[in-house]
Amino acid sequence: MDRNGIGRATLCAGVLVALGASFAARSALGTRAASFAPPLALDTIAIERSIQDEMRATRTPGAAIAIVSAGRVVYAKGFGVANLETGAPVTPEMLFRVGSVTKMFTGLTAVLLARDGKVDLQAPIGRYSRGLHEELGRRTLHQVLAHTGGMIAEAAGDGPHDDAALGVRMRSWGTEHTFAAPGDIYSYSGPGYWLAGYAIEQAAGAPYADVVAERVLEPLGMRRSTFRPTMAMTWPLALDHRVSGDSTRLLRPYPDDVTTWSSGSLFSSVLELARFALALIDSGRVDGRQAIPADAIRALHTRKSAVPGAACGYTYGLSDCGTGSTRTLSHYGFRIGSGAVFTVAPEKAAAVIILANRNGAILGHTAQVAMDMLVPPTPRPAEPEPRPVQTDAAARRRFAGVYVAGADSLRITARGKSLFFRYGPTEQAVRRAANDSTTILVVDGNGAVVQQFSLVVGKDGRSRYLHDGLNAFRRVTDIR
């Protein structure tokens, strides 16, 4: 994990909290989604200029966007190319790998299984998932779906491709993927969703990909969306690209690992993801029919965990920011060859979906431009930048220590009257945040803030964590 700046996992999904909070703060009062006011006029020239500028700045080969207003898709368009080698143009129907946007599909599938009595979201996963280590088995689906399962953060890579591989991997785990007691603190975790995927297939008696297709994709009419690369390749497909240094290249071979599908490997298009957005807006109704039970959709609207140091929370696969008509549900997708933005303002019957085919291509500025047209911004005072001040003796005692999450460790060391932050070979100075005794700021050589941590006490009242707004690290050693 890169802890210089906001960190890998924050790039992967934590930025969604900031985006959701920004959209929510800009929302104006509106009517219930079901009343569906007329669609708002869009400045499509400004949207297209923004996405083209952002693609150019990030060297993104191709992208597609869909915009929902008044409960229907009012704009969809592709930009750039799906494959740098062939020059095939992107279209709105084209499939992309959507990264962590997948998590809302895993969450909804678990809710539907619970609704049928096949799982108990509050019961230990080990009750219906065979072969798990005792420590993993005592976590609940509720906890891993809400990122309170005490699981570490880890990115997906390349691996096996057969359906049986997920079970083989989960049954091989010990305690190395856990770092905190279940339920103690929010900490974003891809492996937690891999474990949820295993619990889903064990409870349903079928491979994870097939369960999601039967319970969610098919009812929503997402006929091309799939987890299986050999199915995705039979439809128009935007291939993954990687930008590194001065080069932009097609990823070859295509990265895939069936054991990580449940956290970030769905193939979908902006038009098919818009159908999921419409279900979130209209209590599970799509095309005038009840595609998903309304109570299951309500579960994805309901905040399940709070994010320390943020105004947002997390449902089962979505960041939840704001309240009432100012609320947004959102997620980013960040993969080694693609990126995604999914944001819904349910009470405004509005959504913006953007998919792109380069590593971590999250076109958030364009999403903001479009959402500002759908939900006109209201004036609000600018939030002050965090102001660093010298640490005092109390702060040095309070924060100094070694903090871990799996193999990752952070060290806050007191030397004389100063604190220092170390991650790997990098050491940087630490300052206290003015007027906030629970927050420290990591600064560069010029004194500019590059990272922020809050000291959080776990629900057990004993454990101490450093939290960066997305991931937690448990203190294991005090350093004086």
What distances in angstroms separate CA 403 from CA 14, 180, 431, 439, 473, one per listed residue? 20, 11, 18, 15, 5
Asked, for residue 156, whether it belongs to a domain, the answer is no
How many CA atoms within 13 Å lie on the side-chain side of 37?
Answer: 13
pLDDT in tens, 172-213: 999 999 999 999 999 999 999 999 999 999 999 999 999 999
Domain count, the chain: 2
Last residue within a domain, chosen from 374, 399, 419: 374
Say yes or no: 267 and 406 in one domain.
no
Quick: pLDDT tens for 262-299. Answer: 999 999 999 999 999 999 999 999 999 999 999 999 99
How many CB atoms sit inside 10 A of residue 200's CB? 26
Q: Which residues, in sequence order, are CB contacts of 126 under 8 Å at separation 6+?
A: 132, 134, 136, 137, 138
Question: In this predicted structure, what is the pLDDT of residue 10?
Answer: 37
Q: What's the CATH number where 230 sits?
A: 3.40.710.10
The last residue of one of the domains, among 374, 409, 444, is 374
pLDDT tens-place string over residues 295-322: 999 999 999 999 998 889 999 999 999 8
Same domain for 357 and 455?
Answer: no
User: Rounded to 5 degrees, what angle do the CA atoms 18, 21, 23 make?
Assistant: 110
Structural domain including 413 reads: 388-478
Answer yes or no: do 219 and 74 share one domain: yes
Distance CA 477, CA 480 (A): 10
Query: Domain boundary at 341, 374, 407, which?
Result: 374
Residue 437: CB atoms within 10 A of its CB come to 12
- Mean pLDDT in residue range 135-164: 94
Q: Looking up tokens 């700046």, which residue turns up?
A: 5
Residues 360 and 411 in one domain: no
- Decide if 200 contacts 262 (C-beta within 8 A): yes
Same domain membership, residue 441 and residue 346: no
Residue 287 domain-assigned? yes
In a shared domain, residues 271 and 346: yes
* Mean of the per-residue pLDDT values of the chain: 90
413-454 tens-digit pLDDT: 999 999 999 998 989 999 999 988 899 999 998 889 999 999
**Cα–chain center distance at 79:** 24
Going 323 to 98 to 84 to 246, the CA torsion angle's sign is positive
pTM for the full predicted model: 0.91
Same structural domain for residues 401 and 470? yes
Q: Rounded distance, CA 321 to CA 312, Å?
A: 4
CB 475 within 8 A of CB 402: yes
Q: Residues near 314 by Cβ (< 8 Å), separated by ≥ 6? A: 146, 147, 186, 303, 304, 305, 307, 320
Q: Is residue 3 over pLDDT 90? A: no
Backbone angles phi, psi at 93, to 5 degrees: -80, -10
One domain, residues 353 and 451: no
Angle at 171 between CA 186 and CA 150, to 5 degrees: 10
Of 100, 56, 45, 102, the residue nearest 80 (C-alpha): 56
Single-letter amino acid, residue 357:
N
**C-alpha closest to that of 192 among 267, 265, 140:** 140
In 81-209, DSSP assigns E strands to: 96-97
Q: How far apart are CA 429 and CA 143, in angstroms?
A: 35
Q: Can you give the pLDDT at residue 479?
A: 59
Q: Are residues 212 and 353 in the same domain?
A: yes
Residues 6+ apart with CB under 8 A from 286: 220, 221, 275, 278, 279, 292
Same domain, 346 and 404: no
Give a yes or no: residue 140 inside a domain: no
- Same domain, yes or no, for 402 and 326? no
The answer as to whether 56 is a domain residue is: yes
**Is there a single domain that holds both residue 418 and residue 345?**
no
φ/ψ of residue 188, rounded to 5 = -60, 135
Q: Is residue 186 part of a domain?
A: no
In a domain, 200, yes or no: no
